[in-house]
A and B are shown apart, each in its own frame.
Chain A
Protein backbone atom coordinates (compact mmCIF):
# COMPACT_ATOMS: atom_id res chain seq x y z
CA UNK A 1 0.00 0.00 0.00
CA UNK A 2 1.50 3.35 -1.01
CA UNK A 3 1.37 6.21 1.48
CA UNK A 4 2.95 9.64 1.63
CA UNK A 5 4.85 9.61 4.91
CA UNK A 6 7.78 11.37 6.57
CA UNK A 7 11.08 9.62 7.26
CA UNK A 8 10.33 9.40 10.96
CA UNK A 9 7.11 7.59 10.28
CA UNK A 10 8.92 5.23 7.94
CA UNK A 11 10.89 4.17 11.03
CA UNK A 12 7.67 3.72 12.98
CA UNK A 13 6.11 1.63 10.23
CA UNK A 14 9.27 -0.44 10.01
CA UNK A 15 9.09 -1.17 13.73
CA UNK A 16 5.37 -1.93 13.50
CA UNK A 17 5.71 -4.29 10.55
CA UNK A 18 8.74 -5.84 12.21
CA UNK A 19 6.47 -6.56 15.18
CA UNK A 20 8.70 -4.93 17.77
CA UNK A 21 7.52 -6.17 21.15
CA UNK A 22 9.13 -3.73 23.56
CA UNK A 23 9.81 -0.11 22.75
CA UNK A 24 11.48 2.23 25.20
CA UNK A 25 12.16 5.74 23.99
CA UNK A 26 12.69 9.31 25.08
CA UNK A 27 11.74 12.29 22.92
CA UNK A 28 14.33 14.46 21.18
CA UNK A 29 13.97 16.72 18.17
CA UNK A 30 13.90 15.59 15.35
CA UNK A 31 12.94 12.07 16.43
CA UNK A 32 9.71 12.83 18.25
CA UNK A 33 7.35 11.77 15.48
CA UNK A 34 8.83 8.26 15.50
CA UNK A 35 7.79 7.62 19.06
CA UNK A 36 4.55 9.58 18.83
CA UNK A 37 3.28 7.35 16.04
CA UNK A 38 4.52 4.23 17.81
CA UNK A 39 2.69 5.36 20.97
CA UNK A 40 -0.51 5.69 18.98
CA UNK A 41 0.00 2.29 17.38
CA UNK A 42 0.50 0.69 20.81
CA UNK A 43 -2.51 2.51 22.23
CA UNK A 44 -4.89 1.46 19.48
CA UNK A 45 -3.40 -2.02 19.52
CA UNK A 46 -2.40 -1.94 15.86
CA UNK A 47 0.99 -2.81 17.32
CA UNK A 48 1.10 -5.40 20.10
CA UNK A 49 3.98 -3.95 22.09
CA UNK A 50 4.80 -2.53 25.48
CA UNK A 51 5.98 1.06 25.28
CA UNK A 52 8.05 2.11 28.27
CA UNK A 53 8.03 5.90 28.50
CA UNK A 54 11.45 6.23 30.07
CA UNK A 55 12.94 9.32 31.64
CA UNK A 56 16.16 9.49 29.58
CA UNK A 57 17.85 7.92 26.56
CA UNK A 58 20.27 6.08 28.80
CA UNK A 59 17.28 4.42 30.46
CA UNK A 60 15.72 3.83 27.03
CA UNK A 61 18.65 1.70 25.93
CA UNK A 62 18.86 0.02 29.36
CA UNK A 63 15.22 -1.03 29.13
CA UNK A 64 15.76 -2.31 25.57
CA UNK A 65 18.71 -4.39 26.75
CA UNK A 66 16.67 -5.95 29.56
CA UNK A 67 13.78 -6.72 27.23
CA UNK A 68 16.05 -8.12 24.53
CA UNK A 69 17.79 -10.35 27.03
CA UNK A 70 14.37 -11.64 28.10
CA UNK A 71 13.80 -12.69 24.47
CA UNK A 72 11.65 -9.85 23.14
CA UNK A 73 12.20 -7.96 19.88
CA UNK A 74 13.11 -4.39 20.83
CA UNK A 75 13.22 -1.03 19.10
CA UNK A 76 14.09 2.50 20.02
CA UNK A 77 14.98 5.77 18.30
CA UNK A 78 17.01 8.79 19.18
CA UNK A 79 19.38 11.46 17.88
CA UNK A 80 22.60 13.36 18.70
CA UNK A 81 22.65 14.10 22.45
CA UNK A 82 20.39 11.14 23.15
CA UNK A 83 22.63 8.79 21.22
CA UNK A 84 25.65 10.19 23.02
CA UNK A 85 23.92 9.66 26.36
CA UNK A 86 23.39 6.00 25.45
CA UNK A 87 27.04 5.50 24.54
CA UNK A 88 27.98 3.28 27.46
CA UNK A 89 25.04 1.02 26.76
CA UNK A 90 25.74 0.78 23.03
CA UNK A 91 28.84 -1.19 24.01
CA UNK A 92 26.60 -3.27 26.25
CA UNK A 93 24.26 -4.18 23.43
CA UNK A 94 26.98 -5.43 21.14
CA UNK A 95 29.11 -7.08 23.83
CA UNK A 96 26.00 -8.63 25.32
CA UNK A 97 24.97 -9.88 21.84
CA UNK A 98 21.56 -8.26 22.02
CA UNK A 99 19.91 -7.57 18.62
CA UNK A 100 18.32 -4.21 19.44
CA UNK A 101 17.34 -2.15 16.38
CA UNK A 102 17.50 1.60 16.76
CA UNK A 103 16.62 4.47 14.48
CA UNK A 104 19.03 7.40 14.72
CA UNK A 105 18.29 10.78 13.21
CA UNK A 106 21.65 12.28 12.25
CA UNK A 107 21.80 15.58 14.08
CA UNK A 108 24.70 17.86 14.99
CA UNK A 109 26.25 17.50 18.42
CA UNK A 110 25.97 20.45 20.78
CA UNK A 111 27.26 22.95 21.71
CA UNK A 112 25.83 25.19 20.25
CA UNK A 113 22.43 23.57 20.20
CA UNK A 114 21.65 22.41 16.68
CA UNK A 115 18.81 20.25 15.47
CA UNK A 116 20.03 19.98 11.90
CA UNK A 117 21.67 17.28 9.87
CA UNK A 118 25.24 16.22 10.63
CA UNK A 119 26.84 12.77 10.81
CA UNK A 120 29.09 13.18 13.83
CA UNK A 121 26.57 11.72 16.26
CA UNK A 122 26.32 8.28 14.66
CA UNK A 123 29.92 8.17 13.47
CA UNK A 124 31.14 8.87 17.00
CA UNK A 125 29.61 5.52 17.83
CA UNK A 126 31.28 3.59 15.00
CA UNK A 127 33.48 1.64 17.43
CA UNK A 128 30.66 0.39 19.62
CA UNK A 129 30.03 -2.81 17.67
CA UNK A 130 26.69 -1.81 16.12
CA UNK A 131 25.91 -2.29 12.44
CA UNK A 132 25.26 1.08 10.82
CA UNK A 133 22.93 1.64 7.85
CA UNK A 134 22.80 5.10 6.23
CA UNK A 135 19.57 5.75 4.31
CA UNK A 136 18.79 8.25 1.60
CA UNK A 137 15.05 7.81 1.12
CA UNK A 138 12.06 7.10 3.33
CA UNK A 139 11.41 3.89 1.43
CA UNK A 140 14.94 2.79 2.20
CA UNK A 141 14.40 3.59 5.88
CA UNK A 142 11.36 1.37 6.15
CA UNK A 143 12.90 -1.47 4.16
CA UNK A 144 16.14 -1.25 6.16
CA UNK A 145 14.41 -1.49 9.55
CA UNK A 146 12.71 -4.74 8.56
CA UNK A 147 15.90 -6.21 7.17
CA UNK A 148 17.89 -4.98 10.17
CA UNK A 149 15.71 -7.06 12.51
CA UNK A 150 16.44 -10.13 10.44
CA UNK A 151 20.18 -9.63 10.14
CA UNK A 152 20.62 -8.53 13.77
CA UNK A 153 18.74 -11.50 15.12
CA UNK A 154 20.70 -13.96 13.00
CA UNK A 155 24.07 -12.55 14.09
CA UNK A 156 23.01 -11.30 17.54
CA UNK A 157 24.52 -7.92 16.77
CA UNK A 158 22.51 -4.68 17.21
CA UNK A 159 21.73 -2.30 14.30
CA UNK A 160 21.36 1.42 13.82
CA UNK A 161 19.21 2.69 10.94
CA UNK A 162 20.29 6.24 10.24
CA UNK A 163 18.56 9.11 8.45
CA UNK A 164 19.23 12.82 8.11
CA UNK A 165 17.50 15.35 10.34
CA UNK A 166 14.71 17.16 8.51
CA UNK A 167 16.03 16.36 5.04
CA UNK A 168 14.68 12.88 5.54
CA UNK A 169 13.08 12.72 8.97
CA UNK A 170 10.52 15.43 8.24
CA UNK A 171 10.28 15.18 4.49
CA UNK A 172 7.25 13.47 3.03
CA UNK A 173 7.86 10.91 0.32
CA UNK A 174 5.84 8.17 -1.28
CA UNK A 175 6.56 4.94 0.50
CA UNK A 176 5.30 1.51 -0.39
CA UNK A 177 4.29 0.04 2.95
CA UNK A 178 4.50 -3.75 2.66
CA UNK A 179 1.70 -6.04 3.70
CA UNK A 180 2.02 -7.32 7.29
CA UNK A 181 1.40 -10.94 6.29
CA UNK A 182 4.22 -10.84 3.76
CA UNK A 183 6.57 -9.25 6.29
CA UNK A 184 5.66 -12.01 8.76
CA UNK A 185 6.70 -14.54 6.13
CA UNK A 186 9.99 -12.74 5.64
CA UNK A 187 10.68 -12.06 9.30
CA UNK A 188 9.79 -14.85 11.73
CA UNK A 189 9.40 -14.08 15.48
CA UNK A 190 12.53 -13.52 17.53
CA UNK A 191 13.31 -16.80 19.22
CA UNK A 192 16.72 -16.80 20.86
CA UNK A 193 17.99 -20.12 22.18
CA UNK A 194 19.68 -18.37 25.08
CA UNK A 195 17.77 -15.81 27.13
CA UNK A 196 17.02 -14.67 30.64
CA UNK A 197 14.63 -17.20 32.14
CA UNK A 198 14.34 -19.03 35.46
CA UNK A 199 13.89 -22.26 33.54
CA UNK A 200 17.54 -22.18 32.51
CA UNK A 201 19.25 -19.74 34.87
CA UNK A 202 22.45 -18.05 33.73
CA UNK A 203 24.24 -14.97 34.95
CA UNK A 204 24.73 -12.65 31.96
CA UNK A 205 27.54 -10.13 31.69
CA UNK A 206 29.39 -10.94 34.92
CA UNK A 207 32.97 -10.19 35.89
CA UNK A 208 35.24 -11.40 33.09
CA UNK A 209 38.98 -11.64 33.64
CA UNK A 210 41.76 -11.29 31.04
CA UNK A 211 41.51 -15.07 30.86
CA UNK A 212 38.25 -14.90 28.87
CA UNK A 213 37.36 -11.38 27.72
CA UNK A 214 39.57 -11.52 24.63
CA UNK A 215 37.78 -14.61 23.28
CA UNK A 216 34.35 -13.07 23.76
CA UNK A 217 35.32 -10.01 21.73
CA UNK A 218 37.05 -12.13 19.10
CA UNK A 219 33.77 -13.97 18.64
CA UNK A 220 31.89 -10.67 18.19
CA UNK A 221 34.25 -9.52 15.44
CA UNK A 222 34.06 -12.90 13.71
CA UNK A 223 30.26 -12.64 13.61
CA UNK A 224 30.46 -9.07 12.33
CA UNK A 225 32.67 -10.33 9.49
CA UNK A 226 29.81 -12.56 8.38
CA UNK A 227 27.51 -9.55 8.17
CA UNK A 228 28.25 -8.24 4.65
CA UNK A 229 27.38 -11.56 3.02
CA UNK A 230 24.32 -11.97 5.23
CA UNK A 231 23.09 -8.45 4.47
CA UNK A 232 23.34 -9.18 0.76
CA UNK A 233 21.57 -12.51 1.16
CA UNK A 234 18.68 -11.16 3.23
CA UNK A 235 18.55 -8.23 0.83
CA UNK A 236 18.07 -10.61 -2.10
CA UNK A 237 15.33 -12.44 -0.17
CA UNK A 238 13.64 -9.10 0.47
CA UNK A 239 13.89 -8.22 -3.21
CA UNK A 240 12.19 -11.48 -4.15
CA UNK A 241 9.26 -10.73 -1.89
CA UNK A 242 8.96 -6.96 -2.07
CA UNK A 243 10.71 -5.98 -5.28
CA UNK A 244 13.39 -3.73 -3.81
CA UNK A 245 17.07 -4.56 -3.21
CA UNK A 246 19.21 -2.57 -0.82
CA UNK A 247 22.68 -4.11 -0.60
CA UNK A 248 25.77 -2.59 0.94
CA UNK A 249 26.28 0.30 -1.51
CA UNK A 250 24.40 2.05 -4.29
CA UNK A 251 26.40 2.53 -7.44
CA UNK A 252 25.26 5.17 -9.91
CA UNK A 253 27.16 5.32 -13.21
CA UNK A 254 30.42 4.17 -11.58
CA UNK A 255 31.40 1.56 -14.13
CA UNK A 256 32.81 3.98 -16.67
CA UNK A 257 33.38 6.93 -14.38
CA UNK A 258 36.64 8.87 -14.30
CA UNK A 259 35.70 10.61 -11.09
CA UNK A 260 33.73 8.79 -8.43
CA UNK A 261 32.03 10.69 -5.65
CA UNK A 262 31.72 8.68 -2.46
CA UNK A 263 28.74 9.84 -0.41
CA UNK A 264 26.27 8.68 2.24
CA UNK A 265 22.84 9.52 3.61
CA UNK A 266 20.48 12.05 2.04
CA UNK A 267 23.27 13.90 0.24
CA UNK A 268 23.93 10.61 -1.54
CA UNK A 269 20.75 11.06 -3.52
CA UNK A 270 21.59 14.72 -4.23
CA UNK A 271 24.91 13.48 -5.60
CA UNK A 272 23.04 11.18 -7.96
CA UNK A 273 21.29 14.19 -9.48
CA UNK A 274 24.56 16.10 -9.65
CA UNK A 275 26.21 13.18 -11.45
CA UNK A 276 23.46 13.13 -14.08
CA UNK A 277 23.88 16.87 -14.60
CA UNK A 278 27.66 16.52 -14.82
CA UNK A 279 27.33 13.74 -17.34
CA UNK A 280 25.22 16.06 -19.49
CA UNK A 281 28.14 18.49 -19.40
CA UNK A 282 30.44 15.71 -20.57
CA UNK A 283 32.09 14.93 -17.26
CA UNK A 284 32.29 11.19 -16.60
CA UNK A 285 31.26 11.31 -12.97
CA UNK A 286 29.79 8.53 -10.88
CA UNK A 287 28.34 8.24 -7.37
CA UNK A 288 29.09 5.47 -4.90
CA UNK A 289 26.71 5.83 -1.97
CA UNK A 290 27.81 3.82 1.05
CA UNK A 291 24.73 2.40 2.72
CA UNK A 292 26.30 0.02 5.19
CA UNK A 293 29.15 1.67 7.10
CA UNK A 294 29.53 -1.02 9.72
CA UNK A 295 30.52 -3.61 8.76
CA UNK A 296 32.66 -1.61 6.34
CA UNK A 297 32.18 -2.90 2.76
CA UNK A 298 35.88 -3.21 1.90
CA UNK A 299 35.54 -5.54 -1.10
CA UNK A 300 32.81 -3.64 -2.88
CA UNK A 301 34.53 -0.31 -2.54
CA UNK A 302 37.85 -1.69 -3.73
CA UNK A 303 36.15 -3.16 -6.78
CA UNK A 304 33.96 -0.17 -7.51
CA UNK A 305 36.85 2.29 -7.78
CA UNK A 306 39.15 0.11 -9.88
CA UNK A 307 38.45 1.90 -13.15
CA UNK A 308 38.33 5.44 -11.81
CA UNK A 309 41.01 8.09 -12.15
CA UNK A 310 40.08 10.09 -9.04
CA UNK A 311 37.92 9.67 -5.95
CA UNK A 312 36.19 12.47 -4.04
CA UNK A 313 34.86 11.44 -0.64
CA UNK A 314 32.27 13.78 0.81
CA UNK A 315 31.88 13.85 4.59
CA UNK A 316 29.19 15.58 6.56
CA UNK A 317 31.28 14.99 9.68
CA UNK A 318 34.79 15.39 11.01
CA UNK A 319 37.00 13.56 13.44
CA UNK A 320 38.83 16.47 15.00
CA UNK A 321 42.56 16.18 14.73
CA UNK A 322 42.09 13.82 11.79
CA UNK A 323 39.78 14.01 8.76
CA UNK A 324 36.27 13.20 7.63
CA UNK A 325 35.50 9.72 8.79
CA UNK A 326 34.25 8.24 5.51
CA UNK A 327 37.41 9.65 3.90
CA UNK A 328 39.62 8.00 6.55
CA UNK A 329 37.94 4.67 6.16
CA UNK A 330 37.85 4.69 2.37
CA UNK A 331 41.51 5.60 2.18
CA UNK A 332 42.46 2.87 4.61
CA UNK A 333 40.38 0.35 2.64
CA UNK A 334 42.22 1.30 -0.56
CA UNK A 335 45.70 1.11 0.98
CA UNK A 336 47.58 -1.69 -0.71
CA UNK A 337 44.88 -1.96 -3.39
CA UNK A 338 44.68 1.31 -5.32
CA UNK A 339 47.76 3.04 -4.01
CA UNK A 340 48.22 5.34 -6.99
CA UNK A 341 44.59 6.51 -7.02
CA UNK A 342 44.21 10.09 -5.73
CA UNK A 343 41.56 10.32 -3.02
CA UNK A 344 40.25 13.81 -2.21
CA UNK A 345 38.56 14.38 1.13
CA UNK A 346 35.83 17.03 1.33
CA UNK A 347 34.04 18.22 4.42
CA UNK A 348 30.79 20.09 4.03
CA UNK A 349 27.32 20.55 5.45
CA UNK A 350 28.19 20.42 9.15
CA UNK A 351 25.35 21.50 11.42
CA UNK A 352 22.81 21.16 8.62
CA UNK A 353 24.37 23.58 6.10
CA UNK A 354 22.61 22.70 2.87
CA UNK A 355 24.27 20.32 0.42
CA UNK A 356 22.96 20.91 -3.10
CA UNK A 357 23.88 19.72 -6.59
CA UNK A 358 26.05 22.86 -6.86
CA UNK A 359 28.03 21.68 -3.86
CA UNK A 360 28.90 18.56 -5.83
CA UNK A 361 29.68 20.61 -8.91
CA UNK A 362 32.12 22.64 -6.83
CA UNK A 363 33.64 19.45 -5.46
CA UNK A 364 33.95 17.98 -8.95
CA UNK A 365 35.49 21.15 -10.29
CA UNK A 366 38.06 21.24 -7.51
CA UNK A 367 38.98 17.62 -8.07
CA UNK A 368 39.26 17.89 -11.83
CA UNK A 369 41.57 20.88 -11.56
CA UNK A 370 44.15 19.05 -9.49
CA UNK A 371 46.20 15.92 -10.03
CA UNK A 372 46.48 15.16 -6.37
CA UNK A 373 44.99 16.60 -3.22
CA UNK A 374 47.40 18.92 -1.42
CA UNK A 375 45.30 19.32 1.70
CA UNK A 376 44.17 16.56 3.99
CA UNK A 377 40.83 18.34 4.41
CA UNK A 378 39.15 20.36 1.69
CA UNK A 379 36.46 22.51 3.25
CA UNK A 380 33.46 23.29 1.05
CA UNK A 381 31.03 26.04 2.02
CA UNK A 382 32.78 27.49 5.06
CA UNK A 383 32.10 31.22 5.09
CA UNK A 384 35.43 32.28 6.54
Chain B
Protein backbone atom coordinates (compact mmCIF):
# COMPACT_ATOMS: atom_id res chain seq x y z
CA UNK B 1 0.00 0.00 0.00
CA UNK B 2 1.46 3.34 -0.94
CA UNK B 3 0.99 6.36 1.29
CA UNK B 4 -0.31 9.17 -0.93
CA UNK B 5 2.22 11.90 -1.61
CA UNK B 6 1.54 15.25 0.03
CA UNK B 7 0.40 18.33 -1.86
CA UNK B 8 1.19 22.03 -1.86
CA UNK B 9 -0.83 24.96 -0.60
CA UNK B 10 -2.09 26.88 -3.63
CA UNK B 11 -1.35 30.56 -4.19
CA UNK B 12 -2.62 32.24 -7.35
CA UNK B 13 0.05 34.44 -8.82
CA UNK B 14 -1.83 35.98 -11.76
CA UNK B 15 -5.28 36.30 -13.31
CA UNK B 16 -4.39 33.56 -15.75
CA UNK B 17 -3.72 31.12 -12.89
CA UNK B 18 -7.08 31.82 -11.31
CA UNK B 19 -9.73 29.32 -12.46
CA UNK B 20 -12.65 30.91 -14.29
CA UNK B 21 -15.24 28.90 -12.39
CA UNK B 22 -15.22 27.93 -8.72
CA UNK B 23 -13.48 24.58 -9.00
CA UNK B 24 -10.77 22.68 -7.19
CA UNK B 25 -7.30 22.57 -8.70
CA UNK B 26 -5.42 20.84 -5.90
CA UNK B 27 -5.64 18.31 -3.11
CA UNK B 28 -6.40 18.74 0.58
CA UNK B 29 -3.36 16.59 1.27
CA UNK B 30 -1.50 19.85 1.88
CA UNK B 31 -3.50 20.17 5.11
CA UNK B 32 -1.53 18.26 7.78
CA UNK B 33 -4.34 17.48 10.20
CA UNK B 34 -1.91 15.77 12.59
CA UNK B 35 -1.67 19.19 14.21
CA UNK B 36 -5.24 18.77 15.50
CA UNK B 37 -4.56 16.04 18.02
CA UNK B 38 -3.80 16.02 21.74
CA UNK B 39 -3.42 12.28 22.08
CA UNK B 40 -1.92 9.88 19.60
CA UNK B 41 -2.29 6.17 18.94
CA UNK B 42 0.74 3.92 19.37
CA UNK B 43 0.54 0.37 18.04
CA UNK B 44 2.20 -2.41 19.99
CA UNK B 45 3.16 -4.67 17.11
CA UNK B 46 3.90 -7.53 19.51
CA UNK B 47 0.21 -7.89 20.30
CA UNK B 48 -0.99 -6.97 16.81
CA UNK B 49 -2.73 -9.83 15.01
CA UNK B 50 -2.72 -8.14 11.59
CA UNK B 51 -6.50 -8.16 11.35
CA UNK B 52 -6.65 -4.83 9.47
CA UNK B 53 -9.48 -3.42 11.58
CA UNK B 54 -7.55 -0.27 12.53
CA UNK B 55 -6.86 0.44 8.86
CA UNK B 56 -10.52 -0.16 8.06
CA UNK B 57 -12.01 2.23 10.61
CA UNK B 58 -9.73 5.26 10.32
CA UNK B 59 -11.83 8.24 9.17
CA UNK B 60 -8.71 10.10 8.09
CA UNK B 61 -7.04 7.35 6.03
CA UNK B 62 -4.15 7.81 8.45
CA UNK B 63 -3.30 4.14 8.83
CA UNK B 64 -1.70 2.31 5.96
CA UNK B 65 -0.34 -1.19 5.63
CA UNK B 66 3.39 -1.53 5.07
CA UNK B 67 4.92 -4.98 4.66
CA UNK B 68 1.80 -6.58 6.20
CA UNK B 69 1.84 -4.38 9.34
CA UNK B 70 -0.27 -1.30 10.15
CA UNK B 71 1.59 2.00 10.27
CA UNK B 72 0.15 5.24 11.58
CA UNK B 73 0.59 8.33 9.47
CA UNK B 74 1.13 10.93 12.18
CA UNK B 75 1.07 13.75 9.64
CA UNK B 76 -2.68 13.34 9.33
CA UNK B 77 -3.86 11.34 12.38
CA UNK B 78 -6.34 13.49 14.33
CA UNK B 79 -6.18 11.34 17.46
CA UNK B 80 -9.86 10.33 17.43
CA UNK B 81 -9.11 6.98 19.09
CA UNK B 82 -11.31 4.82 16.85
CA UNK B 83 -8.41 2.51 15.99
CA UNK B 84 -7.62 1.97 19.67
CA UNK B 85 -11.27 1.39 20.54
CA UNK B 86 -11.95 -1.09 17.74
CA UNK B 87 -8.68 -3.06 18.00
CA UNK B 88 -9.67 -6.60 19.08
CA UNK B 89 -6.47 -7.23 21.05
CA UNK B 90 -6.38 -3.69 22.47
CA UNK B 91 -2.82 -3.34 21.26
CA UNK B 92 -3.18 0.35 20.41
CA UNK B 93 -2.64 2.78 23.26
CA UNK B 94 -3.68 6.43 23.16
CA UNK B 95 -0.86 8.44 24.67
CA UNK B 96 -0.52 12.12 25.37
CA UNK B 97 1.32 14.12 22.75
CA UNK B 98 4.68 15.38 23.98
CA UNK B 99 4.87 19.16 23.77
Contact = CB atoms under 8 A, between A and B. Distances in A.
Interface of A: 95-97, 156, 194, 202-206, 208, 212, 215-216, 219, 223
A202 B23 contact: yes
A223 B20 CA distance: 10
Interface in B17-76: 18-25
Nearest to A202: B23
Contact of B23 (A194, A219, A223): A194
B20 A97 contact: yes
Q: Size range of the interface on B? A: 10 to 19
A192 to B, nearest CB: 10
B22 to A, nearest CB: 5
A219 B18 contact: yes
B20 A156 contact: yes
A194 B22 contact: no
A202 B18 contact: no
A208 B22 contact: yes
Q: Which residue of B18, B19, B22, B24 has the most chain A CB atoms within 10 A of its CB atom?
A: B22
Contact of A203 (B18, B20, B24): B24
B25 A202 contact: yes
28 contacts: A96-B21, A96-B22, A97-B20, A97-B21, A156-B21, A194-B19, A194-B20, A194-B23, A202-B23, A202-B25, A203-B23, A203-B24, A204-B21, A204-B22, A204-B24, A205-B21, A205-B23, A206-B22, A206-B23, A208-B22, A212-B22, A215-B12, A216-B18, A216-B21, A216-B22, A219-B15, A219-B18, A219-B20
A155 to B, nearest CB: 10
Contacts of A219: 15, 18, 20
A212 B11 CA distance: 10
A205 B18 contact: no
B20 A202 contact: no
Contacts of A212: 22
Contact of A194 (B12, B15, B18, B21): B21
B23 A204 contact: yes
A98 to B, nearest CB: 8
Contacts of A95: 22
Contact of B18 (A96, A97, A215): A215
A150 to B, nearest CB: 18
Q: Which residue of B12, B15, B19 has the most chain A CB atoms within 10 A of its CB atom?
A: B19
Interface string B72-95: 000000000000000000000000
A205 B22 CA distance: 5
B21 to A, nearest CB: 4
B9 to A, nearest CB: 12
B18 to A, nearest CB: 6
B30 to A, nearest CB: 15
A105 B24 CA distance: 37
A202 B25 CA distance: 7
Contacts of A215: 12, 18
Contacts of B24: 202-204, 206
A99 to B, nearest CB: 11
Q: Which residue of B12, B15, B19, B21 has the most chain A CB atoms within 10 A of its CB atom?
A: B21
B29 to A, nearest CB: 14
Given A202-B25, A203-B23, A223-B20, 10 more contacts: A95-B22, A156-B21, A194-B21, A194-B23, A202-B24, A204-B21, A204-B22, A206-B22, A208-B22, A219-B15
Contacts of A194: 19-21, 23
Contacts of B12: 215
A212 B24 CA distance: 12
Contacts of B20: 97, 156, 194, 219, 223
A194 B19 CA distance: 10
Nearest to A215: B18
A100 B22 CA distance: 17
A246 B30 CA distance: 51
Contacts of A202: 23-25
Contacts of B22: 95-96, 204-206, 208, 212, 216
The 4 A-B residue pairs whose C-beta atoms are closest, nearest first, are A203-B24, A97-B21, A202-B23, A204-B23
B14 to A, nearest CB: 11
A102 to B, nearest CB: 19
Contacts of B19: 194
A130 to B, nearest CB: 16
